[in-house]
Amino acid sequence: MAKNKHNYTADTIRTLEWCEHIRIRPGMYIGKLGDGSTMDDGIYVLVKEVIDNSIDEYMMGYGKQIDIEIDEDKVWVRDFGRGIPLTKVVDCVAKINTGAKYDSKAFQKSVGLNGVGTKAVNALSSYFKISSVRDGKKKTAEFEQGQLIKEHRQSKTKEENGVYTEFIPDGTIFKKFKFRPEFIDNRLWNYVYLNAGLTIHFNGKKYYSKRGLYDLLDRKVDAAERRYPIIHLKGDDIEIALTHTNQYGEEYYSFVNGQYTTQGGTHQSAFREAIVKTVRDFYKKNFDVQDIRTSISAAIAIRVQEPVFESQTKTKLGSTSIGPNEPTVKTFVLDFLKTELDNYLHKSPEVADALLKRILQSERERKEIAGIKKLAKTRAKKANLHNKKLRDCRIHFNKKKNKRHEECMIFITEGDSASGSITKSRDVETQAVFSLRGKPLNSFNKTKKIVYENEEFNLLQHALNIEDGLDGLRYNKVIIATDADIDGMHIRLLLMTFFLQYFPDLVRSGHVFILETPLFRVRNKKNTYYCYSESEKMTAMKKCGKTAEVTRFKGLGEISPDEFGNFIGKDIKLEPVTLDENSPTQKMLQYYMGNNTPERQLFIIDNLRVEKEVVEDELIEELVGESE
């Protein structure tokens, strides 16, 4: 028997301090680390954990205002709740499994119940400060990487009751991180929608809602796209808002005890089942499930006692009941919807008629494409079998899921040279490549039938496995990788139009990204710099001196596989595709991808970025005419 090189002795066994364990295994507490380029990256979980405590205070009837500031890498949060009991300030942020939320009388329906949240923030911050004001007295403590560096004495103060928290995420754990205001913005709007009457100030902007989930849907769905007015239903521990639109797919915003469950869970599944049963019963017709739920946009929020989530980051509800000796989540949601929605439809015949027309339209469209779907699926399987379009990652060839499934991504490339470079330099375990042939069709204002008739679109939707929704999505990140020239930008636009037209929930859920690759390589005999802008190039040239050699990458195919490995590895630069609720999808697509208009021509001319002051006429003509 071969001698074991790893001796297992008493010295092998270690007992970790609370903060050491969090720092070694941060994923157990905040999910993935990330650099802030996606909305579920760890730095946003840190912000959420602090704000959640302030929200819990508001839910208990204390503190109607929360003030938040984020300046580059530092976060400040101040609430006006009851404040932490002063003798327990240090324990609450530095002693694991310590908190008031174990006492269900104090926090009946709280988000956090396991006493970990702010401890994780403390442990994963290079600097952390907490101050509690309670009845004219103040207690402050300061930490570095979870270690107490200064505990201030209690002092008298005239400040209002509440808690002040300040922290800087640790740069040794969150590499090159950057807070994106749009992700914070969306989260804060959700907080006020779920807590009507609460005011939040963030970097000088005010967040406030009077009508709760009605306001959420009113902001998310353009009025011109609604097939009928938003239906708003409220009950004890449940609130629902819904409408149908002209878009494809299903759009859900689900919440539990104020927590945005981005991955849904038992409450969202219950709603999807309940809406089908309620509609069938009301119209006394056995509509197809897909026809009822296609184009629905809905928000649902419930409150349960001692919620069980499927991960520490609380993005998916696992609870089957709403509390001890209470009905199941499924029964609770179904009973509410059967009563309240049925009553609403009986009282609002014009809404009932509009809903029926939308369902019948979906039914007609489904039957129209039924004949070509089978042929389209056969073509897709044949193309994948012969490896013509998709070079898949190895994880998807294994039947059993493993922990790396969330890392899976797919690069959508143009041309053989670009796809060849990425294919040769990728991580074959988690990175797949889909190769486009030429420019995709402009799909704006075309029915979903075109997805099956167009070979490129058909193969792409099958590669992603999104035909029936995001439940089967095979890749967590869908990355558009095109050249940084006119043709590449146009292909990027056409792909985003395709996703927004037929699979908008793919974009809304934060799965679509743009791959950023360097425009220049600057090097001398000792150093090589990859530059993403003109200013970076100038800086690199100064560093390299007179011997600087500058290469302009005109296309992805010009970057060698060895170099490409630097840009799609651990230091990959991705720009998330996000939707601004102030720019409704259909209006935006009409403006950029609809029939050519003088307004769009002027916009392109005014906003075109070129290195020289002179804009060549043929370039303008190509740009303004591309969408036709």
How would DSSP label each residue in 445-466? T--THHHHHSHHHHHHHHHHT-
Q: How far is residue 245's CA from residue 295's CA, in Å, rounded to a whole number? A: 5
Res. 107: pLDDT tops 70: no
Question: Do 264 and 328 fall within a single domain?
Answer: yes
Does residue 305 share a domain with residue 201? no
Closest by Cα among 289, 627, 298, 307 to 490: 627
Q: Which residues of 221-235 are buried (b: 16+ CB within 10 A; e: fewer)?
A: bbeebbbbebbbbbe
CATH code of the domain in which 433 resides = 3.40.50.670
**What residues contact residue 614 under an 8 Å CB cut-off, 6+ apart?**
none
Q: Is residue 82 within 8 Å of 133, Cβ to Cβ?
A: no
User: What is the percentage of the chain residues whose pLDDT exceeds 70?
Assistant: 86
The b/e string for 242-276 (b: 16+ C-beta within 10 A; e otherwise) is bbbbebbbbbbbbbbbbbbbbbbbbbbebbbebbb
Is residue 261 predicted with pLDDT exceeding 70? yes
Residues 203 and 112 in one domain: yes
In a shared domain, residues 138 and 217: no
Higher-confidence residue of 179 and 595: namely 179
Per residue in 356-374, pLDDT tens? 999 999 999 888 887 787 7
- Pair 447, 463 in one domain: yes
- Residues 124 and 173: beta-carbon distance below 8 Å: yes
Specify if 371 maps to a domain: no
Question: According to the model, what pLDDT value does residue 479 have?
Answer: 96
Q: How many domains does the chain have?
A: 5
Do 529 and 561 have their domain in common?
no
Structural domain for 472, as ranges = 387-517+557-583
Beta-carbon contacts of 31 under 8 Å, excluding residues fewer than 6 positions away, are 40, 42, 45, 311, 312, 313, 315
CATH number of the domain bearing residue 67: 3.30.565.10
The answer as to whether 373 is a domain residue is no
Whether 330 contacts 219, CB under 8 Å: no
- Answer whether residue 33 shows pLDDT above 90: no
pLDDT score at 352: 97
Q: What is the mean pLDDT of residues 338-352?
A: 96
E strands in 381-430: 390-391, 409-414
Q: Are residues 49 and 187 in the same domain?
A: yes
Read off the amino acid at residue 403: K
194 and 221: one domain?
A: no
Give 201-235 pLDDT, tens digit per residue. 999 999 999 999 999 999 888 888 899 999 999 99
What integer is the mean pLDDT of 296-303?
93
DSSP state of 309: B
The residue out of 175, 208, 241 marking a domain boundary is 208
- Quick one: pLDDT at residue 607? 67
What is the spatial distance between Cα 448 and Cα 463, in angstroms, rounded to a whole number?
A: 17
Structure tokens given for 207: 């967040």
pLDDT of residue 39: 80
184 and 63 part of one domain: yes
Whether 330 and 393 map to the same domain: the answer is no
CATH no. for residue 235? 3.30.230.10
pLDDT: which is higher, 498 or 602: 498
Which residues have C-beta within 8 Å of that of residue 531, sequence separation ≥ 6?
Answer: 518, 519, 520, 521, 522, 537, 539, 540
Packing angle of the helix pair 598-607, 617-625 (nearest 10 deg): 130
Domain-embedded: residue 11: no
Closest CA to 194 of 74, 347, 51, 46: 51
Residues 441-480 have pLDDT tens digits of 888 888 888 888 888 888 899 889 988 778 788 999 999 9
pLDDT at 336: 95
pLDDT band at 618 (very low <50, low <70, confident <90, very high): very low
Q: What is the pLDDT of residue 310?
A: 72
Task: Return the structure tokens found at 404.
Answer: 């790396």
pLDDT digits (tens, 9 = 90+) for 361-407: 999 988 888 778 777 777 776 666 555 688 888 876 565 555 677 78
96 shares its domain with 190: yes
pLDDT at 628: 44
Residue 156: predicted pLDDT = 94
The per-residue pLDDT for 114 is: 43
> Would residue 7 count as lying in a domain?
no
pLDDT above 70 for 10? no
Q: Are residues 573 and 438 in the same domain?
A: yes
89, part of any domain: yes
pTM: 0.74
Residue 44 falls inside a structural domain: yes
CB atoms within 10 A of CB 469: 17
Q: Domain ends where: 188, 208, 228?
A: 208
What pLDDT is recorded for position 614? Answer: 39
Task: Give the contacts of 515 (CB within 8 A, at least 6 positions apart).
Answer: 411, 479, 480, 481, 567, 568, 572, 573, 574
Has residue 27 been placed in a domain?
A: yes
- The C-alpha atoms of residue 453 and residue 435 are separated, in whole angstroms, by 18
Assess contact for 151 and 134: CB atoms under 8 A. no
In a domain, 109, yes or no: yes
Residue 179 tokens, joined: 């807070």
Angstrom distance (rounded) from CA 599 to CA 4: 74
